[in-house]
Structure 1
Amino acid sequence: MGIFERFLSIWVALAIVAGVGLGLWFPHIITQIATLEIAHINLPVAVLIWLMIYPMMIQIDWSAIKHIGKKPKGLAMTVVINWLIKPFTMAFIGWLFFRVLFANWVGADDAQAYIAGMILLGVAPCTAMVFVWSQLVKGDPNYTLVQVSVNDIIMIFAFAPIAGFLLGVSDITIPYDTLFYSTLLYVVLPLIAGAATRKICQKTDRSLAVLGKKLKPFSILGLILTVVLLFAFQAQTIVANPLVIVLIAIPLLVQTYGIFFLGNLMAKWLKLPHNIAAPACLIGTSNFFELAVAVAISLFGLHSGAALATVVGVLVEVPVMLSLVSWINRNHTV
């Protein structure tokens, strides 16, 4: 791994500090950036997320799908955790904490917004960072590729309906057209662009590995600048009420660790080998926070509680995932 992967938590922490600082020192500039949107989709965020996602999408080999029948248990576990369990446990945990346990500290409208952000995180399984987590736990790279590919296919069709259903259950008005366009912009089109790039490289005998290496700095830049911008948008809220960050982080931590150890039990029950079980558990645990943040901003606005909840998801994601990677490697099994 390069220096970026080894010290990922440090770079993200620095990006968070930089983002909050920019939001406090240059509020007018950040506000102007926040107004650059079309159809409720913030253009700078969209560009940065595309910059981050596209290099990851070209790594997805759709031909690998044909090999899923050889080891179906690990794939079945991934699908069940990500689409039949995780979105619903996230919605329940959000309701439990913000409607019951934290009801005295959080107003009803804010609680509703935070639950919405958590739901968007729960219904967006990780895509880009999965490859990093799999590499760190010595997972099977080809099988991880299959799991990610199948997840992305399901996401195209399932993200908007499940998110819409759960948000509706939470009594939140949903602009379905914005949800649809966000899914199209942040999932479907990057996948098509990645597949087209692979096709062009194959026809012109260009190396995908070389192209990936050239694009990697742009992906890193996209991630760092996305974090900077997201925390700049929320800087005033974070500084004014840091307790809210803690209150949002607690249920996210419960959900993340809970889903991981549920996956751990399922992997043991299915008797999956380490190189399949380890990345499968991490795929189910981590979130496609780039998509969740983008959709939250599109649906509810840059300064909404929903957007803040997804941004806190970014804050929680990296250190939690690294702690789980460390746990797996210490135990040499899932």
Structure 2
Amino acid sequence: MPAAEPVAPRRPTAAEGGGVVGRLSTLDRFLAVWILLAMALGLGLGRLVPGLGDALAVVETGGISLPIAVGLLVMMYPVLAKVRYDRFDAVTGDRRLIVSSLVVNWLVGPAVMFALAWIFLADLPEYRTGLIIVGLARCIAMVVIWNDLACGDREAAAVLVALNSAFQVVAFGLLGWFYLDLLPARLGLGDGEHLDVSLWKIALNVVVFLGVPLLAGYLTRRVGERKLGREAYESGFLPRIGPWALYGLLFTIVTLFALQGRTITSHPLDVARIALPLLVYFAVMWFGSFALGRAVGLPYDRTATLAFTAAGNNFELAIAVAIATFGVTSGQALAGVVGPLIEVPVLVALVHVSLARRRKFDATGR
């Protein structure tokens, strides 16, 4: 259900509900426009206002940008307050979904990005390394927005995001060693690069960007239903906080691009080189995961959730690791910055693709 609409007990199927896009609020219907304007505003502010990027960069703790953290928390809270946590058993019991998600996120995704980085950027080692780092950082934040706009399964998204978070803490450093050191050496592609990753930094990233809004959403749901009842909570309270998810998204985008506006606009040709493999990556991961969901018999809402959780990346973690390891002016950091520049408009477009494909499922949602 789009963030700005009243929340119904269940979402109508394509056969029952007619055109999904036609029922969107003005805010949701023109989301792509608002996002493009937010990106342009952020880039303009970062480029034209002297010292703005440096001032924003100073406001951080533990390697986490506080303005971006605030935006992401505001963005995620309303969506996670909509989740029906009493339905988690139905999600965790869906082995097709859980296994498919683990495979595409932690086996396929990093391997695809590794291959694309070497195919497109074989002559640019710094950008290549930056892209590989982006591929290792699985999405735990913005995906809840894309999934919600595409009418995906909210409960499934919350479970998969939590699962990715747990794997991220454990597997990020190990996969960094495998794809940046061991595999290049074994394939004769060079000596590799040592990735200095702090488990504490990754764990803090997960706690801030998932733990806090998840706990807030869970407590809001429990207290709200106890005091108001489920029907009043979903039809009265949730519509009032729903639009704040998109306000938080737009604030995050403006802040992110204001932080990196000068870097991006100063290297247009390099940005274009980095963008090409990213475009291929998002297309391969989303369409491949969507096809996998249909092949294993998942309904539309869980197929969409699988696709968006597979295609998104944790840009904040990727940028933080690249800066901490290689420096703020490094090519690795620039590759991380270009990630959301491409990811945001592409995944917005894929929301519309997903809604169009939804109509092809029958009245049962399959």
Q: Same fold (TM over 0.5)?
A: yes
- Pick from 140, 145, 149: which aligns with 1:132? 149
Compute the displacement of 1:280 (Å): 4.4
Partner of 1:166: 175
Question: Separation in 1 of the partners of 2:66 and 2:91?
Answer: 37
**1:74 Cα shift?**
4.4
SS in 2 for 1:173: coil
Please name the residue that 1:299 is paired with: 321
Aligned-partner Cα distance in 2 for 1:217–1:326: 20
1:217 aligns with 243
2:131 is aligned with 1:114: yes
Q: Secondary structure at the match of 1:58?
A: helix
Q: CA deviation at 1:234?
A: 1.5
* CA shift for structure 1 position 202: 2.2
Mapping 1:248-287, distance limit 5 Å: 248-273=274-299, 275-276=300-301, 278-280=303-305, 282-287=307-312
Seen in structure 2, the aligned counterparts of structure 1 residues 59 and 92 have a Cα distance that, compared at 3 Å, is: farther
Offset at residue 320 of structure 1 (A): 4.0
Whichever residue aligns with residue 115 of structure 1, its letter is I
Q: Is the 8 A contact 1:260 1:285 kept in 2?
A: yes
Residue pairs, 1:184-195, within 5 angstroms:
184-195=207-218
Structure 1 letter corresponding to 2:223: I
Cα drift, residue 14 of structure 1: 0.5
User: Is this contact kept in 2: 1:78–1:283, CA < 8 A?
Assistant: no
Residues 265 and 128 (structure 1), Cα distance of their counterparts in 2 relative to 1, 3 Å cut:
closer
Instruction: Render the CA deviation track for 1:144-201: whole Å, top value 9, x for unaligned.
Output: 1332132033123112222222223323221222111111111122211211111111
CA distance in 2, matches of 1:67, 1:21: 46
Name the count of aligned residue pairs: 316
Deviation string 1:20-67 (CA, Å, 9 cap, x unpaired) is 111111121332121111122111111111111111111222211222
Look up the match of 1:54.
77
SS in 2 for 1:128: helix
- Structure 1 CA distance, aligned partners of 2:244 and 2:154? 21
- 1:1-334 to structure 2, matched below 5 A, reads 1-68=24-91, 72-98=95-121, 100=122, 103=123, 106=124, 108-121=125-138, 126-133=143-150, 135=151, 144-169=153-178, 170=180, 171=193, 172-205=195-228, 207-209=232-234, 210-273=236-299, 275-276=300-301, 278-280=303-305, 282-287=307-312, 289=313, 292-301=314-323, 304-322=333-351, 324-325=353-354, 328=357
SS at match of 1:27: coil
TM-score (norm 2): 0.76
Q: Percent identity?
A: 21
> Is there any run of 5+ residues in structure 2 with no aligned partner, and where?
1-23, 181-192
How far apart, CA to CA, are the structure 2 residues paired with 1:123 and 1:50?
A: 12
TM-score between the two structures when normalised by the length of structure 1:
0.82
Separation in structure 2 between the aligned mates of residue 69 and residue 122 of structure 1, nearest angstrom: 19
Distance 2:336 2:96 in 1: 35
Residue equivalent to 2:183: none
Give the unaligned 5+ runs of structure 1: none
Contact preservation (8 Å) 1:118, 1:310 = no
The structure having more radius of gyration, on CA atoms, is 2
The two structures, once aligned, show a CA RMSD in angstroms of 2.9
Change (3 A) 1:321 1:271: same
CA distance in 2, matches of 1:124, 1:52: 9
Bigger share in helix: 1
CA–CA distance in structure 1, aligned partners of residues 30 and 305 of structure 2: 23
Q: CA deviation at 1:87?
A: 3.4
Q: Could you tell me how far 1:223 is from its partner in structure 2?
A: 0.8
Answer whether contact 1:120 1:163 (CA < 8 A) is retained: yes
CA 1:189–1:92: 2 relative to 1, 3 Å: farther
Q: Cα distance, 1:281 vs. partner? A: 5.0
Counterparts of 1:222 and 1:128, CA distance in 2: 10
Is the alpha carbon distance of 1:61 and 1:32 closer, same or farther for their aligned partners in structure 2, counting shifts above 3 Å?
Answer: same
Q: Distance in 2 between matches of 1:198 and 1:122?
A: 24
Task: Using the TM superposition, give the Cα deviation of residue 72 of structure 1 relative to its aligned residue in structure 2, in angstroms.
Answer: 4.5
The answer to whether the 8 Å contact 1:40/1:298 transfers is yes
Tell me how far apart the structure 1 counterparts of residues 138 and 275 of structure 2 sit (CA, whole Å): 12
Question: Does the 8 Å contact 1:123/1:162 carry over to 2?
Answer: no
Distance change in 2, residues 1:49/1:69 (3 Å): closer
